[in-house]
Amino acid sequence: MAVTSPCALLANGQDNSCLVDIVRKYYQQVVLINRSDIVDIVESVPTAEDPTCVYTVGFGLKENATGYRIAGIEAGSVYKGYFDKSVSDLAYPQYIHHVDMVLMGIGQDTKCILDSMSRGSFVAALQIGTTIEIYGIKNGLSIDDFTFDVGEGGGGSLLTLSSLENAPESRLPFVYVSNTPGSEVADFDALFANTEPSV
pLDDT in tens, 58-89: 999 999 999 999 999 999 999 999 999 999 99
Report how far residue 105's alpha carbon sits from residue 149's, in angstroms, rounded to the nearest whole number: 10
Residue ranges for the chain with pLDDT beneath 50: none
Three-state secondary structure call for residue 32: strand
Q: How far is CA 74 from CA 29, 34, 101, 127, in A?
A: 8, 25, 12, 12
- Residue 169 · residue 97 · CB < 8 Å: yes
Q: Residue 60: which H helix or E strand, with range?
A: strand 56-61
Neighbouring residues of 62: CB distance < 8 A, sequence distance ≥ 6: 37, 38, 39
Sheet with 93-104, edge to edge strand ranges: 80-87, 93-104, 156-162, 142-143
pLDDT the model gives residue 198: 59
Report how far residue 157's alpha carbon sits from residue 118's, in angstroms, rounded to the nearest whole number: 14
